[in-house]
Structure 1
Amino acid sequence: MFLCSITSVVAQETEEQEIDSVKTGFDLGRILIENPDSIVSRYIYDPNLDRYIYNESVGEFNIGYPIILTPEQYFKLIEEEGIKSYFKEKSDAYAGKKEGSEEARKNLLPNFYVNNDFFSTIFGGNTIEIIPQGSVAMDLGVIWQKNDNPSLSPRNRTNLSFDFDQRISLSMLGKIGERLQVTANYDTEATFDFQNIVKLDYTPTEDDIIQSIEVGNVNMPLNSSLISGAQSLFGVKTKLQFGKTSVTAVFSEQRSQNNTVVAQGGGTVNEFSLSALDYDENRHFFLAQYFRDNYDNALSSYPYIQSQVQITRIEVWITNRTQQTLNVRNVVAIQDLGEADITKTRVGQNNGSASGFFNGPADVRPRNNANDYNPALILTGNGALNDNIREIATVESGFNAGSFAGGYSPNQGFDYAYLENARKLEQGRDFDFNSQLGYISLNQRLSNDEVLGVAYQYTFQGQVYQVGEFANGGIEATTVTQDVSTVIENNTLILKLLKSNITNITDPIWDLMMKNIYATGAYSLSQEDFKMNILYSDPTARNYITPIEEGPGSGWPEGLEERILLNVFNLDRLNVYNDIQPGGDGFFDFISGQTIDIQNGRIIFTKVEPFGEFLYEQLENGNSGQYDVTSGYNANQEQYVFRDMYALTKTAALQDPEKNKFLLKGTYKSEGSNGISIG
């Protein structure tokens, strides 16, 4: 409320000074001003009166009235003033106020004092100070989703979930006296683990022998170009001083690695090192046992391939893991389809007779009519299959056990495998094949539970042979039957099985997976900058092998220890002009498609089992030894032949590390159009 009053005043002029009506000083309220240093304020205890007396004095003169307190009143006053001072200090520190705001913030945690002379001697002081800094942020939320999908039940169309996210960025500096310092950093969004450091640093006086002790994250820089220092070490580091001699010692674990990239002519030069067991598994497959059996002979005189086979058409089908809807079909893949050699089939291994199942056993070329799995015999009833195999739901009943010699019954997952909506691979994008040597290479490795089936055509001496059925080969995807009611059947394709979803090393198709191709990890290789050597490490690496047992009957061929391993394994028989050079020229024969896959950076051996059967025969001194464990090994074969590598899985073969001593080492230059990758 505002009140206004107007009053008429009649004044008389006089010579007296007018008094100012503005109130100042104590009239407005008491103003507290700190006493100057000359005024001493203190409490003095009087033992005679058992009282605390407060007075203010300048020199020896008291300038105020004394205040007398009992001990209880005095201690209560001290307690209240301490509490008030503590909370004011914390409040000012949080608000950033100052008297020097930075100092106030550092004192969020109080300093600790250790009243001990020994403690002060070691650490150069008796204070313990902890200074934390950083921030902690947390996001809490709720996510509610609604999906109006008719295929879902009403209860499953809505979903409620919580969303939590936290970010922590903290650092702590601890000081114990003047000599010991503890530093700790922790950040949840740090790029590398070693950025979250914990370090303890002890620095004594300059006259001590121990100049520094660091525990935690340390480094070891060296002022030398000959030996480079290491970074991101976790351990103990000490600096010692003996007169004019200084010693720096580090005992630690290195948590970083150095990588050197050499660039030449627009590409990077890299090294690779592979053991014999590091073959590229589940990516390369022979199309039939026939191509595997003739592989060594076909490449024995490379760069000329001794093969009369020319594959003209091929289709590859695998498990549809990506739920693709285009180029899909139901398929049935049979392991023994097209195989004519009874010894390399499951039917033959299970007491099937050639006369009862195989047609023309003398002709081992793969073809559909090689045995009674011939798809053309399904409708006639003369084969091992009947019409039920065309429907994915009745595949298992489609195998007629009565047609097999000896009553052999095929097993799903071993003799055959079937896929619903199998995916057809695209040539060039998903796979490539060698038309003369008869194998395919997938661009993506298959998992152990995936199925691989193929159908292909090839010519041999002017005649056309086919294995399996093609998608456009007359077998329609669906068949509509209209009798009493309309029935739509999804017809399956019959394929040659190359890989089943069940791994069985005793099955013949285990040998169809190639184990003589090695991936270097490079792409677009150039011959000028590619170097490769085969070494044997026992214990140091060397590019030759020596006999374990010499003399008659040892099985060691004459002069074998004088040949480098590249020549022993038939990868060095040409010179730089691709002319035959007896004994080789000491360099890897870079032959595209035969010894090297330039585009994908793969090394291809010209032998199916270079470290197994081939090496076994090399150590037979020209005698034709039977590659069978029952025939026995001589001492040299026992030392060098790695039979388990081909007879067992990789995991099982690793149980015999004494045989896994052959190494493939070299360098390559990888060129790219998008610059040089430094990793």
Structure 2
Amino acid sequence: MTRIALPISLLTGLAIWMFAEANTFPAVAFQGSLQQAGTATSDTLPPVEERYNDFITNPNTNPFDLKDPSVVEQTVDYDPETGQYIIQEKIGDDYFRPPTYMTFEEYLAWQRKKEEREYFNQLAGINTGEGATALDPLAKFDVKSSMLDRLFGGSTVDIRPQGGIDLTFGVDFQRLDNPILTERQRRTGGFDFDMNIQMNVTGKIGEKLTLTTNYNNNATFNFDNQIKLDYNSDLFSEDDIIKKIEAGNVSLPLRGSLIQGAQSLFGLKTELQFGHLRLTAIASQQNSQNENIQLKGGSQVQEFEVKADEYDENRHFFLSHYNRDGFERNLRNLPQINTLFHLENIEVWITNDRNVVEDVRDIVAFADLGEPERLVNPSAIPPFPTPPYREIGNGRPLPDNNANSLYQRLLDRPDLRSIDRSVSILQSQEFGLSQSKDFEKVSARKLDEREYTVHPDLGYISVNINVQPDQVLAVAYQYKYNGNIYKVGELSVNTDAVGPDTSDLTPQVLYVKMLKSTTQRTDVPTWDLMMKNVYSIGAFQVNREDFKLDIFYEDPGKGFKRFLPKSNLEGKPLIRVFNLDNLNTQGDPQPDGVFDFVPGVTINPTNGRIMFPVLEPFGTGLGNQITDANFRDSFVYQELYDLTLFQAQEFPEKNRYAIRGSFKSSASSEISLGAFNIPPGSVRVTAGGQLLQEGRDYEVDYGTGRVKILNDAIIASGVPVNVSFEDNTVFGFQTKAMIGVRADYKINDNLNVGATFLQLFERPFTQKVNIGDDPIRNRIYGFDLNLSKEAPWLTKAVDKLPFFSTKATSNINFSAEAAYLQPGHSKAINESKKDKSGVVYIDDFEGSTSSFDLRQPTNQWFLASVPQNDDQNNNPLFPEANASSLAYGANRARMNWYRIDNIARVGD
């Protein structure tokens, strides 16, 4: 009701003001309630009459009459001859009404009533309107108070708001003519109000107190809304002990390099001065997290860590089992690839889920198309006793459409090209194929060449888009082997769009090779076509220079190691065990302990993906090298390749391998911090340990989170550059608070001694904290010394050297720092009050058991369970209760139970 009454009141007041300014008064009408018989009644009374006599003999008692406008001026004159007071009403120089004559007693009574009425109106906050002028609500005004003048350095109050408030009023009603609903339920709706506030306010009291705030109710992050109350007497008076008091969004910048302050804080900060000693104390909540980026030679150095169960799922696929079986053999003599296989042409098809119309066809993808061996359904598609095409040397059969009888049988049935009949024919007794296992019929789109990459010699594809679990991925390709051309599937450019009946212009289906179906089944050979030896390190455009990679094994309780302890591989680094270190930097077959950077094979520098030259590096590839069978099961993570990724992650005790390293991006003077809306002043850049100055050596775009090095000599020198900043976009459940004290004692203008104490502690959301998220309670103590002094003798000494003439003043700068960190944890995770050690959880096993509510559903009968034995009294009345065979229900007879629904229960 308040929001509705507000615009009505505003409109009413505006109308009254307009009438008053125009000196026109509306007629006030009253409707009579009594009527005389036989006479006509008038529904409108005469308007309010103007007063033509004095206001004593003809007073105005109409409450609806408005006051005189401001142009009517009332003056009082005294006539000494008659001894009367004459009150005249004028408009300009013209008399408006007849004058009013009062005696002395009447004038005193009239003046007393007038002053009394004005006094009560003043108490009620009502303006008389006499001499009233419009006031600027934003203008400065003075508060006459000596106390405020001394406290705030002046008595002027200045408030400057800027922004806007948008109020939206609406009504949303709807009627739904649904016969199931009642008449009242068919009509729904209500008022719809919305408000958008974006405002900046700057307020000042005197010269010391300042309030700045900006508020936006649609702000995405909390740091978009800022508020700060600043009391600063440092520039106003040198004798005040209290120099600064800040509340709200505050910061604590520190000049040292060992102990860094913070910019994004919310709390209370004060600065006091006692002679030469200046104290700064702060108690606040930290809303950011410190980040650090290292660069060398203008390239950003970043570290990465990938676990064994984080392989690129549904991204990389072999074209056939022939390519998979020869993968490890073809990579034995890196950097050379020993194979006669070379891909000539390929088309990649995927389920059309983007509603595109270009390059879209209906396809039927077959799992066994072109496969001479390892068939999904050998009973329906028996392999040939003698494969028609074989590899030179070992005689392995080559993939081709004629490698088995499937493709020829498809060609013998032209009606299979029909979209409507293909599925029913393939599932008939003639073919005996099963959908999603043996074949998939979908509407697919052909991928653009930019959406995938192929390795023509190793015979695998890498899809650059995310393949969803319910999507079908299929290919049709043509390759050359020893000068001969072989085909698997049908290329759309070589297949007619119509069937055998040329009068039918309906597009016909294509027969292609299926690499992935809509369901993941690990018991079919198609599961092995997905590569599980490719890992993404999250890098792009990786340079060979300064790229480091190593593999570690987490020994329980003993940290990470580069070898397998207590095994025959204990003296061999894991990077050599997985065949990632067989070459030196010149490409000779000599291990040097460094990752073999072979572009296109072991690493893809474009998208930063690492590929092991082993099919199952943490499975059979590792198990075949461990001779002791007792240790083989504890080291080998075979579930990673025999089960789906989700199922394999249920064995965390075997996921103990980590791929760690670092890389450098391409050299550039601009550095991306990987964050946005960086708190101003929080970026610190050092080159070779020396602190750089913002604006001279580098500039920061705090909005986009980019740093640009202005001094080209820093990039050219190749010295390590370190960039530290605060990221306030990090989300977390733990609240971080910071308290600290900074003391600076200025011995003289050249020497300053300082001490710092900071404590950062986190408060966990719950007492159950997972490992790695344990709340900290760290304390740091610091001491620093800074000396800066001019040295004119040094200038004179340099001038004495030949060919040297200096004009600038020489300075000697000396600084020393020392810091001590005392780590700790929050008391909230202590095991008990007596035991001060913290407790974190690896897994609380809350989801290890599942419960079933026997009360649901309420509309079914259930077989009665066998009563348990009375083991305490040694009375086995039902010995079959412990049986796990059919004998468990032999004596149950036909006993069942049923739960009556609460709705069916009727009580008195």
User: TM-score band (shorter)?
Assistant: 0.5 to 0.7
* Aligned equivalents of 1:65, 1:506: Cα separation in 2: 115
Q: Which residue of 2 aligns with 1:526?
A: 543
Task: Indicate the SS of the match to 2:197.
Answer: strand
* Aligned equivalents of 2:348, 2:459: Cα separation in 1: 13
Task: State the 1:73 CA deviation.
Answer: 9.7
Give per-residue Cα distances to partners, 1:391-440, cap 9 Å, x unaligned.
22222113154346xxxx433233221222x322343x232211221101
* Aligned equivalents of 2:132, 2:649: Cα separation in 1: 65
- Cα 1:130–1:368 change in 2 (3 A) is farther
> Given the alignment of the two structures, is residue 572 of structure 1 paired with residue 610 of structure 2, yes or no?
no
Q: Is the 8 A contact 1:234 1:255 kept in 2?
A: no
Q: Which residue of 1 aligns with 2:598?
A: 591
Q: Is the 8 A contact 1:139 1:164 kept in 2?
A: yes
Q: Which residue of 1 aligns with 2:607?
A: 600
> Given the alignment of the two structures, is residue 391 of structure 1 paired with residue 418 of structure 2, yes or no?
yes
- Cα 1:230–1:586 change in 2 (3 A) is farther
Aligned partner (choices 659, 663, 682) of residue 664 of structure 1: 659
* Aligned equivalents of 1:89, 1:298: Cα separation in 2: 102
- Cα 1:392–1:31 change in 2 (3 A) is farther
- Cα 1:335–1:131 change in 2 (3 A) is farther
Aligned partner (choices 484, 491, 499) of residue 470 of structure 1: 491
Q: Which residue of 2 aligns with 1:230?
A: 262
Give per-residue Cα distances to partners, 1:44-89, cap 9 Å, x unaligned.
xxxxxxxxxxxxxxxxxxxx99968999999865331131359999
* Aligned equivalents of 1:660, 1:447: Cα separation in 2: 25
Task: State the 1:452 CA deviation.
Answer: 1.2
Name the aligned partner's letter for residue 274 of structure 1. V
> Given the alignment of the two structures, is residue 634 of structure 1 paired with residue 634 of structure 2, yes or no?
no
Aligned partner (choices 421, 431, 444) of residue 465 of structure 2: 444
Q: Is the 8 A contact 1:233 1:253 kept in 2?
A: yes
| TM-score, L = length of structure 2 | 0.50
Larger relative contact order, structure 1 or 2 (CA cutoff 8 Å, min sep 6): 1
- Cα 1:675–1:247 change in 2 (3 A) is closer
Task: Indicate the SS of the match to 1:412.
Answer: coil
> Given the alignment of the two structures, is residue 481 of structure 1 paired with residue 534 of structure 2, yes or no?
no
Give per-residue Cα distances to partners, 1:277-300, cap 9 Å, x unaligned.
332222211111222222122223
* Aligned equivalents of 1:211, 1:257: Cα separation in 2: 29
* Aligned equivalents of 2:615, 2:128: Cα separation in 1: 84
Q: Which segment is superposed worse, 319-328 or 69-78? A: 69-78
Task: Indicate the SS of the match to 1:614.
Answer: helix
* Aligned equivalents of 1:132, 1:648: Cα separation in 2: 67
* Aligned equivalents of 2:643, 2:76: Cα separation in 1: 96
Map residues 357-396 of structure 1 onto 2, 5 A cutoff.
357-360=382-385, 364-372=397-405, 374-380=406-412, 386-396=413-423
Task: State the 1:619 CA deviation.
Answer: 2.6
Q: Which residue of 1 aligns with 2:287?
A: 254
* Aligned equivalents of 2:107, 2:76: Cα separation in 1: 21
Task: State the 1:578 CA deviation.
Answer: 1.0
> Given the alignment of the two structures, is residue 103 of structure 1 paired with residue 135 of structure 2, yes or no?
no
Name the aligned partner's letter for residue 424 of structure 1. K
Q: Is the 8 A contact 1:505 1:647 kept in 2?
A: yes
Aligned partner (choices 403, 410, 413) of residue 436 of structure 2: 413
Give per-residue Cα distances to partners, 1:308-347, cap 9 Å, x unaligned.
32222222112234444443322111122222334xx432
Map residues 144-183 of structure 1 onto 2, 5 A cutoff.
167-171=196-200
* Aligned equivalents of 2:291, 2:656: Cα separation in 1: 26
Task: Indicate the SS of the match to 2:527.
Answer: helix
* Aligned equivalents of 1:314, 1:73: Cα separation in 2: 102
Task: Indicate the SS of the match to 1:278.
Answer: coil
Name the aligned partner's letter for residue 138 of structure 1. D
* Aligned equivalents of 2:376, 2:637: Cα separation in 1: 26
Name the aligned partner's letter for residue 197 of structure 1. Q
* Aligned equivalents of 1:412, 1:71: Cα separation in 2: 105
Task: State the 1:515 CA deviation.
Answer: 2.0
Task: State the 1:224 CA deviation.
Answer: 0.9
| TM-score, L = length of structure 1 | 0.65
Task: State the 1:141 CA deviation.
Answer: 12
Q: Which residue of 2 aligns with 1:341?
A: 373
Name the aligned partner's letter for residue 481 of structure 1. D
Task: State the 1:468 CA deviation.
Answer: 1.1
Pairs aligned (count): 533
Return 5+ residue gaps in structure 1 as ranges: 1-27, 33-63, 108-119, 143-162, 381-385, 551-555, 622-632
Name the aligned partner's letter for residue 410 of structure 1. L
Return 5+ residue gaps in structure 2 as ranges: 1-72, 78-104, 171-191, 388-395, 675-908
- Cα 1:175–1:85 change in 2 (3 A) is farther
- Cα 1:674–1:166 change in 2 (3 A) is farther
> Given the alignment of the two structures, is residue 562 of structure 1 paired with residue 571 of structure 2, yes or no?
yes
Q: Which residue of 1 aligns with 2:319?
A: 287
Q: Is the 8 A contact 2:121 2:128 kept in 1?
A: no
Give per-residue Cα distances to partners, 1:222-265, cap 9 Å, x unaligned.
22123332332356778899997957465634335535362625
Task: State the 1:571 CA deviation.
Answer: 0.7
> Given the alignment of the two structures, is residue 425 of structure 1 paired with residue 447 of structure 2, yes or no?
yes
- Cα 1:209–1:463 change in 2 (3 A) is same
> Given the alignment of the two structures, is residue 197 of structure 1 paired with residue 226 of structure 2, yes or no?
yes
> Given the alignment of the two structures, is residue 80 of structure 1 paired with residue 121 of structure 2, yes or no?
yes
Name the aligned partner's letter for residue 523 of structure 1. F
Name the aligned partner's letter for residue 506 of structure 2. E
Q: Which residue of 2 aligns with 1:617?
A: 624
Name the aligned partner's letter for residue 468 of structure 1. G
**What is the root-mean-square deviation of aligned Cα atoms in Å?**
4.9
Task: State the 1:453 CA deviation.
Answer: 0.8
Q: Which segment is superposed worse, 459-468 or 73-82? A: 73-82
- Cα 1:77–1:236 change in 2 (3 A) is closer
Task: State the 1:358 CA deviation.
Answer: 1.9
Task: State the 1:454 CA deviation.
Answer: 0.6
* Aligned equivalents of 1:29, 1:617: Cα separation in 2: 114
* Aligned equivalents of 1:263, 1:88: Cα separation in 2: 77
> Given the alignment of the two structures, is residue 494 of structure 1 paired with residue 519 of structure 2, yes or no?
no
Task: State the 1:588 CA deviation.
Answer: 1.0
Q: Which residue of 1 aligns with 2:533?
A: 516
* Aligned equivalents of 1:88, 1:585: Cα separation in 2: 99
% of aligned pairs identical?
37
- Cα 1:103–1:89 change in 2 (3 A) is farther
